[in-house]
Structure 1
């Protein structure tokens, strides 16, 4: 019984950082950009948590791998894309101001 509790506690401790890292942080850290330092990525994720839904965060995280997608969304005529882009601009401005 004690071993099971210890194994469960260890599993939680080892996977907790993975659960805490959001999609923006994960994409930022795994990007090949020189400026993608862990503290900066964590800061950007904190701002994302305050300004974007999880779905918006996943969508924004995709821009790290495919930056051209951001341009496509920005230029889109879709009401859904336009609403997302408005939220994304708010997030980006806040992240730039807060995470300098």
Structure 2
């Protein structure tokens, strides 16, 4: 009986953590897995909130790749495609907003 109570208690305690990880957006997940010293749950969550306000889902997934492969950002910046230029403008706005909103 005690074993069942312990399992139930652990499940209740783990649920909020599991839910927050499962609900993390692509930017937050990429931020948390980036290995950067400043990447902690609070900062990455803040950056994701800004992404939710400023970027579409497809833009978020594209930007998340930049955390793993910064050369992709350079490729996008140097691209001659109109779609990449439009994305880059949205991405710059996201970056400036995240810096202002999440700096601390």
TM-score by length of 2: 0.81
Secondary structure, in 3 states, of the residue corresponding to 1:77?
A: coil
Following superposition, the deviation at residue 64 of structure 1 comes to: 0.5
Helix, strand or coil: the match of 1:18?
helix
- 2:51 matched to which residue of 1? 48
Asked whether 1:39 is paired with 2:42, we answer: yes
Moved more, 44-53 or 18-27: 18-27
TM-score, scaled relative to structure 1:
0.84
SS in 2 for 1:59: helix
Question: How many aligned positions are there?
Answer: 91
Tell me how large the CA RMSD over aligned residues is: 1.7
Which ranges of structure 2 fall in alignment gaps of 5 or more residues?
1-11
Do residues 87 (structure 1) and 90 (structure 2) align? yes
3-state SS in 2 of match to 1:32: coil
Instruction: Tell which structure's C-alpha radius of gyration is larger.
Output: 2
Distance 2:77 2:36 in 1: 22
CA-to-partner distance for each residue in 1:5-58, whole Å, 9 max, x for gaps?
A: xxxxx7xx4652233200000000011111111100000000000000111000
